Every structure is written in C-alpha cells, then in structure tokens.
Structure 1
Amino acid sequence: MTDKTNLLEIFKTVAARVDKREFPNVTATSVITELGIDSLSMMQIVGEMETELGIMIPDEDLVELITVGDLCKKVGERLEATV
C-alpha cells in the first residue's frame, strides 16, 4: 500500500514532469489552482498518476479536487479498492 506521503511525492514528481518545473513546497493543503496548475495540466497529472499506479479515477470525481491532499486521498481510495 502506498501511504499519503508517498502519494504526495508521486504527485510532485509527476507534476514536475508535466508542468516542467519543480514543486518543492507542495503540501497536502496546497490548493491546486494556486500552484499555477491549469485544468489541462491537472488532467495530464491525474492521467500519469493513474497509469503509474494502475488505477482509474472517474472524471466526475475530479471536479471535487481542490487541494493536493484531495487528490492524494482520492488516489489512496482507488488504490485500496483495487486490493
């Protein structure tokens, strides 16, 4: 099982790859839009995380995501559902 800290690190790595810049100060409470991540980049980040972790997050769940922690929680829930 991947814990929340690892999910945060995975988010930072994937976001850096997609957005071509580092996110060293990102925490679970960081608001995604305040990080300068637009909706297209967010879709790419989620898609890469899904591929990397072997999960699928329904599109309708993505509209609820405000913070990085929201995303990590949703990813964690999907990982637990696949066990």
Structure 2
Amino acid sequence: MALGSNEIDHRFGFHKATVEGENATLPAHREVRLHFREFATHLDSILPDGRAKSVAFTELENASMWAHKSIAEQAPLVSE
C-alpha cells in the first residue's frame, strides 16, 4: 500500500517546535526529557553494568526519540 506524498511529507518533513499558544510543543518536549532523564538516572543506579544494561539504555534512547517525534509531529510542517 502506497503512503502517498502527504504522509511521506508528514513523516519526513521538518516540524518546527512551537513555543506559544495552546498547541505549543516545547513544554511537552521539556516534560518528556525530564521524565526520561529521571528514569535513566534511576536505572543507572540500580542496574548492574553489562550488556543488558547497555541494551536497556539503547532502547530507552529509542523510546525517547519516538516520544519526541510524536510531539514534534503535532507542530506545523515547515516548507524547506
């Protein structure tokens, strides 16, 4: 099934973070960063060093990136 140009533009276009207004994305980005940082700090203190910890942190980074992408996609698409 083809995605179409609108979906491709939405997925791969630049979504500029908005700072003001009811649809501002910057506050959500800050909150996500705070919670991921807190969780990462907690995991770092309780998990033993090793491959499993390394994989856990890689997956946590992936989750963080996807969370930020989800927020970013709510911002307007900018023509480049």
Structure of larger gyration radius: 2
Q: Which has the higher strand share?
A: 2
Structure with higher RCO (Cα < 8 A, 6+ apart): 2
Give the structure-2-normalised TM-score: 0.32
